[in-house]
Amino acid sequence: MKIGFIGLGNMGAPMAANLAKAGHEVTGFDVAGIVAEGCASAASAPEAAAGRDAVITMLPNGEILTRVTAEIVPAMTPGAVFVDCSTVDVDSARAAHESASRAGLLSVDAPVSGGVGGAAAGSLTFMAGGSDESFAAAAPLFEIMGAKAVHCGAPGAGQAAKICNNMVLGISMIGVCEAFNLADKLGLDRQAMFDVVSTSSGQCWSINTYCPAPGVGPTSPADNGYKPGFAAELMLKDLRLSQQAADAVGAPTPMGGKAMELYDAFVGEDGKGLDFSAMLPRLAKMNR
């Protein structure tokens, strides 16, 4: 396939490179001038999109997605598939679908889970929203860039799933960090804490796979000075999206709201540029 890829940051560049390695002809564009391995480079987003069988975007927020959509949709060939892998608000995702539909394009909102490591390894999970036909057109690309793709439903459903998933993640990571901090103050060995919780009713991804305590459990960013696998500011972005969505539909999310407040304070003080699991050393410095 001829593929345009717009947004070659920490996630987009390895995703585009994996498509190129699989034999697809990939042309990329990024405002920062980044070039992905094995990919040709375009001078603009419309140039990257023109004449392609598929165009994939990986962008920072809904405002930028809306702007880029307005630029690339007129350049795309009717019948091509537009796959947005950004994590944005549901309304922006649905607006992108509407623009694509008016232009005779197939479209999928397909945010991802798995972080930079998953993007590099081609093991991402895609949460997709769109028609059956659109999902079928994008599925071969998901198979290259990821390990799993779930068709969550109609346009916007992928973003809804991502927002809900990451609200769970933010809440659970804070809970795990609070438990480790409490265990430390009670004199409980961290390894013993991990051995119990990771095999008991408290087990979850935040402790079993991504433990925030250095030297305990599988290797995680905690073992690398909390260098981001998933940055705290990105968790804050997703929690804000969850609360925006909850406000829109009147859903009570008291834990999600508190998690957003805690990450907002963390990023505003000393958490920017650290992994979201660095909530553990932050809690250790706080008073009750």
- Per residue in 58-117, pLDDT (tens digit) is 999 999 999 999 999 999 999 999 999 999 999 999 999 999 999 999 999 999 998 888
Under 8 Å between Cβ of 144 and 167: no
pLDDT computed for residue 201 by the predictor: 98
Q: Which CATH superfamily is domain 160-285 in?
A: N-(1-d-carboxylethyl)-l-norvaline Dehydrogenase; domain 2 (1.10.1040.10)
DSSP state of 285: H
Give the closest residue to 81 by CA, choosing from 14, 131, 127.
131
Q: Model pTM?
A: 0.91
Task: Express each pLDDT in 48-59 by its tens digit.
Answer: 999 999 999 999
pLDDT band at 193 (very low <50, low <70, confident <90, very high): very high
CA separation for the pair 153, 106 (Å, rounded): 15
Residues 6+ apart with CB under 8 A from 206: 169, 172, 173, 175, 176, 212, 277
Average pLDDT, integer, range 242-261: 97
CATH number given to 2-154: 3.40.50.720
By percentage, how much of the chain surpasses pLDDT 90?
A: 98
**Mean pLDDT computed over every residue of the chain:** 97
CA separation for the pair 27, 36 (Å, rounded): 9
SS3 (DSSP) at 233: helix
Where in the chain is CATH 1.10.1040.10? 160-285
State the alpha helices, DSSP H only, in 73-150. 90-102, 115-121, 132-145
CA separation for the pair 190, 177 (Å, rounded): 11
Q: Residues with catalytic annotation?
A: 162
Where in the chain is CATH 3.40.50.720? 2-154
pLDDT computed for residue 38 by the predictor: 97
